[in-house]
Amino acid sequence: MPDAEQQDMKKTIQVIQDIAVMLTGASEYVCEKRMLKRYSSDIETNLDNLETYLSRLKRSFPGKFPEALNPDSLMAKLKEIAASMKADDSAIEATCRAGDLGDELFLGLKELKAALRDISNILGGKVVSTYSLADRIMDLGGSFKSLFAGISAFISSIGKVIIAVVIVLILSFVYLYVTMESEDTLVASVNNVLTSVQTQKDTLAKQRKEYEEITATIDRLKNKELARDEKIQLLNLSTESQKMKEHISESVLLLEKREKELADKKKSLEELQKKTFIQKLFKR
């Protein structure tokens, strides 16, 4: 994607993120129906722009677009949140004042940003090793062939001293080759972190589902007259909801840490792939 489009996408995401921040620290004014409807329209407009950018990303993707990277469901979730902000009932205002509406929007946007980052990372470079073991053996065989041809000529004219020097050079070459930087090791490391990122995403999705179920139960209990045992249940659910919200925030931070680690390892791999055989051999 061109730099200009990337900047536009960042600005579009920032608009939605700013709204989420305002709703998280919600005041009476921010949670009024007319303000929520205004924010809802702003979110929907920027989501439409994101869909346009996303369609361009998909068209530039090599081959079939992987379903695992498809952020359409995350877009749909954000649209549902925006649509709920247009409701005329007082429940959405109460949810806003409690800060839950802002939290839900913020977490949904975090997941969407992570998905878009994954797509951009894949489009920016492939995680494949281009310097195979067969290539190394061929290079090594060619080097030894030339080296031993030279040794034969030296033996006839210079003698045992030159043979000793050549042996030292051969041993040095073998040592450098054995300790040469390996793409295979980096590729394995990248794949391990990639698996960790996917596992963390699955965990986050499960936590969000549990949180939504707890929130739905709390809302149902709040909207009716409660018996004593139901009041106790409501109190326990509220405590559990707060703990789950903290777990979700921790999971989001851990996911961002893993994604940064993945990006760093991919960068190291790309830099290694650009090196020549000699640069790898001497670790330059």
Q: DSSP alpha helices (H): ranges in 60-132?
A: 72-84, 91-97, 100-124
Q: Is the pTM of this model over 0.85?
A: no
Helix (H) or strand (E) holding 11: helix 3-24
Site of tokens 């007319």: 34
Confidence of residue 142 (pLDDT cuts 50, 70, 90): very low
> Contact, 247 vs 200, CB < 8 A?
no
**How far is residue 113 from each of residues 29, 71, 252, 262, measured CA to CA in Å?**
29, 9, 11, 15
DSSP state of 65: P
156-215: pLDDT as tens digits: 667 778 888 888 888 877 777 666 666 677 777 878 888 888 888 888 888 888 888 888
Q: Would the pLDDT of 282 be above 70?
A: no
DSSP line for 28-45 = TTTTSHHHHHHHHHHHHH
229-255: pLDDT as tens digits: 877 887 888 888 888 888 888 888 888
Confidence of residue 150 (pLDDT cuts 50, 70, 90): low
24-81: pLDDT as tens digits: 765 667 788 888 888 889 989 988 888 888 887 777 766 666 666 667 888 888 889 8
